[in-house]
Amino acid sequence: MCGIVGYIGNEQAAPVLLDGLARLEYRGYDSAGVAVYDGKEIEVVKSKGKLAVLSDMIHGGKDIKGTVGIGHTRWATHGAPSDTNAHPHLSQSGRFAVVHNGIIENYLELKQRLMSKGIEFLSETDTEVIAHMVEYYYKGDIFDTMVKVLNRVEGSYALGVISVDNPDEIVAVRKDSPLIVGTSENGNFIASDVPAILNKTRDVYYLEEKEIVFLRRDGVEIYNFDREPVKKDLTHIDWDADAAEKGGYEHFMIKEIMEQPKAIANTVESRIKNGRIVLDNITLTAEQIKSFDKIYIIACGSAYHAGMVGKYVLEQLTRKPVEIDLASEFRYRSPIVTDKTLVIAVSQSGETADTLAAMNEAKRLGARTLSIVNVVGSAIAKQSDDVIYTLAGPEIAVATTKAYSCQLAVFYLLALYIAQETKIIDCDKLNDMINELLLIPEKVQSILDKKEDIQYFASRHFADKDIFFIGRNLDYAVCLEGSLKLKEISYIHSEAYAAGELKHGTISLIEDGTLVVAVATIDRLFEKTMSNVVEVITRGATVLGVTKETKTIMADTCNFIFYVPESIDIFMPSLSVIPLQLFGYYVASMKGCDIDKKRNLAKSVTVE
């Protein structure tokens, strides 16, 4: 929800920090700031608004001299966006500067205690208490100081600290919020995510829970809270650097929509060997799978919608009961979980706070856990019993597209894998399904090749005030995602409904000119969905139909049709979601919305 960058090395720090923050602005964009030690004092410059405002203030960083510094781009939690509430925050004397991602849950208690000692606060943030506490406890040993501070702090945090007293190092720590360390010949880095430093180094360490790192110009030292050195393997990032750039597209979102054929192919093809599903290094055995009496899927946002598809697919192919639960609700409802329960946690970032907490609660109750994430070394990946990575590459736009599509692909693979290992499906049928799955990227590309048709339809409806999505079964699951895509980037009120529920109240909202998007790709439910289409048209709705190429009869009823290629029903969500993503994108573009940086939202939700 916020982005952190730190640098110490041979180059001027401010331009490096600004460049890194620009690559993290998807994590927060309501204010930004940098703190650089100039040889005498820590100079802090920060401002409300997007990073460009800060960059202009300091002329791309040229105005601030010094080779050690920290920077931050913010998504506000405590305190409204303002120059004062922006990070970094200074201690009262100005000797220490701090940047923070996360939430300090007991900050009011800590703040009151510090104020009783005569310390004055300038901001409304929870982070400022950290800066003052560091100074209050500092007695010459920064390690001892950090441990004292962190033992008194409750909540989640990734922190970066620089000080006048220790001018040749950056101290950083991670608990429940992501933080990586990058190393290079020209200096060392901390960052919230890999794209921030990808143009400077490809060699990184992923920090674990409650680890403290000391960065100096010539090296990096990592410790636990007991002052014991921690040995880590260096991870080399092999992403194409262009993957984190727009590459000529107007927005990251449309670039990532267009990257979906490749991303799905990468996710699927590497897991199919000699006609069999091979899921990385997961340790689930056929006997364990057979022993499960229930599967839970826990996720938030678009990952939850992918999980909804996963529920239908897993139940159909494994014949085991599957529940899908919002991670933010799961652990507060006394879930019935035992050692015969498989819990699947889905998160693009692998750091989603609610999903991580829900997964750990399931583990406490005895469940076996498996995660589906995109980020290697993320907290959810490390803390689950097994992990399957979505090989989507970096996703920068706040509105997910290719990560969602890769999550669907992993659910298909997992369901087929379970069916394969338990022999619940005969070999010929399994082979047919695997072969059809391999065709999905090509079929997605054929839909993208017709994107101008959706663009034209969007040009006629970008001024609409209310839009409804309807479908049944898997189509309903896709409608949930299509509606979310539209509302989160265009700010148009949009809702998705199971088509059969219309007559139970929702149809009262349909009036002349109301746009209804009807997804009807499931053969056995096509006629039932068409009955619902007729119902809304009778009440004046305009209908966009999304269906298979063979269902040309739908054109006789709907105002506009977009056809997608034929496939097996369980794979249709991967195809039908593409026109809905495009529709949301083009509507938002025509409205002039800032598509990659959504209002009030950030990419990674690392607090509850």
Q: Would you give the distance in Å from CA 493 to the centre of its chain?
A: 23
Of the pLDDT bands very low, low, confident and very high (cuts 50, 70, 90), residue 242 is: low
Question: Which one is catalytic: 48, 443, 551, 603?
Answer: 603
**Does residue 579 carry a pLDDT above 80?**
yes
Is the per-residue pLDDT at 28 higher than 90? Answer: no
Q: Give the per-residue pLDDT at 603.
A: 45
Strand, coil or helix: 53: helix
Which residue spans within 10-49 are E strands per DSSP? Answer: 31-37, 42-48
| Cis amide prior to 394 (ω within 30 degrees) | no
CB 394 within 8 A of CB 239: yes
Residues 366-420 pLDDT 10s: 999 999 999 887 889 989 999 999 999 888 888 999 999 999 999 999 999 999 9
Q: Quick one: pLDDT at residue 602?
A: 47
Q: Distance between CA 457 and CA 450 in Å, rounded?
A: 12
What is the distance between the alpha carbons of residues 344 and 350, in angstroms, rounded to a whole number? 12
pLDDT value at residue 243:
63
Q: How many Å apart are CA 4 and CA 457, to the nearest integer?
A: 40
What pLDDT does residue 351 have? 86
Alpha carbon distance 8, 23 (integer Å): 18
| Across 156-181, average pLDDT | 92
Helix or strand run (H / E) with residue 205: strand 203-206
Contact by Cβ (8 Å): 290, 422: yes
| Average pLDDT score over residue span 573-598 | 92
Rounded to 10 deg, the angle between the 402-422 and 260-269 helix axes is 20
Work out the average pLDDT over 41-49: 94
H helices of 233-297, in order, are 252-258, 260-269, 286-291
pLDDT at 567: 97
Query: Bigger pLDDT: 175 or 404?
Result: 404
Would the pLDDT of 271 be above 60?
A: yes
Edge-to-edge strand list for the sheet holding 211-216:
89-90, 96-104, 155-163, 170-175, 211-216, 219-224
Q: What is the pLDDT of residue 607?
A: 46
Residue 173 pLDDT > 50, yes or no?
A: yes
How many angstroms from the chain centroid is the CA of residue 340?
Answer: 29
pLDDT at 345 over 90: yes
pLDDT higher than threshold 80 for residue 541: yes
Structure tokens at 119: 């310390």
Cis peptide before 88 (omega within 30 of 0): yes
What is the β-pairing status of strands 542-548 and 560-564?
parallel
**Could you report the per-residue pLDDT of 290-344, keeping only the tens digit for each?**
999 999 999 999 999 999 999 999 999 999 999 999 999 998 888 999 999 999 9
- Residue 320 a catalytic site member: no
Q: Looking at this protein, which amino acid is placed at residue 177?
A: S
Residues whose CB falls within 8 Å of the CB of residue 67, separated by 6 or more in sequence, listed in order: 7, 8, 9, 10, 11, 12, 13, 187, 217
Q: What is the pLDDT of residues 440-487, one digit of tens each?
A: 999 999 999 999 999 999 999 999 999 999 999 999 999 999 999 999
Instruction: Confirm if 147 and 225 have CB atoms less than 8 A apart.
Output: yes
What pLDDT was estimated at residue 604? 47
Alpha-carbon span 130 to 90, nearest angstrom: 9
Q: Which domains does the chain have, with CATH numbers?
A: 3-234 (3.60.20.10), 254-438 (3.40.50.10490), 449-593 (3.40.50.10490)
Pairing of strands 294-299, 322-326: parallel
* Angle between helix 402-422 and 301-318 (nearest 10): 20
Q: Residue 212: helix, strand or coil by DSSP?
A: strand
Q: Mean of the per-residue pLDDT values for the chain?
A: 91
Residue 237 pLDDT: 84
Residue 199 has pLDDT above 90, yes or no: no
Residue range 481-494: average pLDDT?
Answer: 95
Tokens for 179, please give them: 């933080």
Residue type, 375: V
Q: Is 2 a catalytic residue?
A: yes
CB distance 355 to 299 below 8 Å: yes
C-alpha radius of gyration, the chain, whole number: 25
Confidence label for 606 from pLDDT (cuts 50, 70 and 90): very low
**pLDDT-derived band at 239, boundaries 50, 70, 90:** low
Residue % of the chain over a pLDDT of 70: 96
| Helix, strand, coil share of the chain (percent; to 5) | 40, 25, 35
Strand partners, 560: 544
